[in-house]
Amino acid sequence: MPQHTPYDFDRIIDRTGTYAEKYDARKRIFGNDTAEPFWVADMDLPTPAFLVDALHARVAHPIFGYTDADAGTSAAIQWWLDSQHGLRTEKSWVRLSPSVVTSMSHAIQVLSQPNDSVVFLSPVYGPFFTTVRQNGRHPLDVPLHPQQNRYEIDFDALESALARPDATLLLLCNPHNPGGRVFSRAELSAMVDLCHKHNVHIFSDEIHCDIVFAPHAHTSILSIEAAHPISIVAFSIGKLFNTSGLNASFALIPNPKLRAQFVSATQRSHCADINLLGKVALTTAMSPQGAEYKRQLIAYLAENTQEVHRILSAIPGVSVMRPEATYLVWGDFRALGTPTQVAKRLIDDAQVLLSGGAFFGQNGDGWFRANCAHPRQRLYPAMERVLQALAPGTRPHSAP
């Protein structure tokens, strides 16, 4: 077997002054620029050296002109989806996009009309709400139900929403942010069946699909044949390879008619391609080297999320989701006071910044999200400070 050099995920890297929102926006967002940030969903772990080297090599060339429309990028994407997810695709399905949210906006324009209602499960990533509104549609969120530290779908409530005459589009976040759920094939099939029954299209945000913890496995909505005529699905290397600042993403659209409409929407907004370095990153990352990096990273993140779950679960009155995917841990802190009161204790006493649940909609209010993609020597002490700030003298539960 080939020998693989282990990646060093324990190295502390100073990100201040690098245009990093997580650090440089602390004062503006939280009124504090010294507390440690565990909010924005990017990693404080380095992008792998082979990918950085490829970017260096391209930057060393002194001309940054117009790029070829494909240049092997689609082939790399197809290889990755097949090898990592067992998802067979066609080159014609692939459409490059600056971001998953950009693709979401274009999908909303293509798959619905102004004043339509757009359905999604909540709590959910904040731009689901804002992007729907910015496009002149109405968010119609269906609450997920916490049961035994995981979210469950209320399919009766979902069908009631999809059955409305003005509901034309379902937005799906799979794996789920912030709850870390990996939706099963049975759940996805049921959603596809409901959408066919009520003449509703699907946009699936699968940006977190590469960070899934055993025994769970990601199932793309496109692995269900019946979803092909009605679905647009968006992916990105940003979460796995920590390249969100490079704006390298893509959408898959099997239906030729929907694809043509999507392309027209991207051309109208002049967002039909990605930048040069994003293209280099995409093509380089989706490779056997990228697959080995993924294997090592997931092992590291699995331990991180388990430890953070263990620490935060020790806080009396706090219920914490056990993530099946993502490097995000989501907890219900409502028993400890108002969101403002809890946030103040986190910032002032623990010197820790977490994402407040209101960003994820009304059904997230009073919850907080912790980003676990940090070196352990920084992450674990910070979460211990959270524990002591909210429950002084409490010790974490014993590790299993």
The pLDDT score that the predictor gives to residue 397 is 76
Asked whether residue 396 is assigned to any structural domain, the reply reads: no
- Residue 2's pLDDT band (cuts 50, 70, 90): low
Buried b / exposed e over 77-102, threshold 16 CB at 10 Å, is: bbebbeebbebebeeebbbbbbbbbb
Q: Considering the chain, what percentage of its residues have pLDDT values greater than 70?
A: 98
Measured between alpha carbons, how far is 201 from 196 in angstroms, rounded to an integer?
8
My answer on whether 332 and 305 are in the same domain is yes
Q: What is the dihedral of CA 124, 234, 22, 345, to 10 degrees?
A: 10
CB 118 within 8 A of CB 169: yes
Instruction: Report pLDDT digits (tens) over 82-135.
Output: 999 999 999 999 999 999 999 999 999 999 999 999 999 999 999 999 999 999
Measured between alpha carbons, how far is 117 from 172 in angstroms, rounded to an integer?
14
CB 293 within 8 A of CB 7: yes
My answer on whether 304 and 276 are in the same domain is no
Measured between alpha carbons, how far is 52 from 285 in angstroms, rounded to an integer?
10
The pLDDT score that the predictor gives to residue 396 is 87
Mean pLDDT to the nearest integer, 389-400: 85
pLDDT at 1 over 50: no
Q: What is the CATH number of the domain that holds 113?
A: 3.40.640.10
The DSSP bridge partners found for residue 320 are 331
Residue that is last in its domain, among 252, 287, 322: 287
Closest among 108, 99, 98, 161 to 131, alpha carbons compared: 108
Measured between alpha carbons, how far is 40 from 239 in angstroms, rounded to an integer?
11
Closest among 99, 30, 114 to 269, alpha carbons compared: 99
CA R_g for the chain: 21
CA angle 203, 204, 206 (to 5 degrees): 150
Residue that is last in its domain, among 256, 287, 318: 287
The pLDDT score that the predictor gives to residue 400 is 61
Measured between alpha carbons, how far is 370 from 180 in angstroms, rounded to an integer?
12
Six token digits for residue 352: 């820790």
Q: Where are the alpha helices (DSSP H) in 61-99?
A: 73-85
pLDDT at 287 over 70: yes
My answer on whether 117 and 183 are in the same domain is yes
Domain count for the chain: 2
My answer on whether 347 and 205 are in the same domain is no
The strands making up 319-320's β-sheet, listed across from edge to edge, are 36-38, 352-356, 367-371, 328-332, 319-320
Mean pLDDT of the chain: 97
My answer on whether 42 and 108 are in the same domain is no
**Cα–Cα distances in angstroms (integers) from residue 64 to residues 57, 67, 282, 362, in the given order:** 12, 8, 17, 45
CB 177 within 8 A of CB 208: yes
Classify 139 as helix, strand or coil: strand
Top pLDDT among 312 and 6 is at: 312
CB 137 within 8 A of CB 112: yes
Q: Which domain holds residue 332?
A: 21-48+289-390
CA 187 to chain CA centroid, nearest Å: 19
Q: What is the CATH number of the domain that holds 316?
A: 3.90.1150.10
What's the farthest any 2 CA atoms get from each other in the chain? 61
pLDDT at 376 over 60: yes
End-to-end CA gap in the chain:
32
pLDDT at 368 over 50: yes
Asked whether residue 1 is assigned to any structural domain, the reply reads: no
Six token digits for residue 34: 């010294």
Instruction: Report pLDDT digits (tens) over 230-252.
Output: 999 999 999 999 999 999 999 99
My answer on whether 98 and 128 are in the same domain is yes
Asked whether residue 325 is assigned to any structural domain, the reply reads: yes
My answer on whether 197 and 237 are in the same domain is yes
Helices 49-60, 288-313: axis angle to 10 degrees equals 130
CA angle 23, 26, 27 (to 5 degrees): 135
Instruction: Report pLDDT digits (tens) over 183-230.
Output: 999 999 999 999 999 999 999 999 999 999 999 999 999 999 999 999
Residue that is last in its domain, among 287, 322, 353: 287
Top pLDDT among 379 and 398 is at: 379
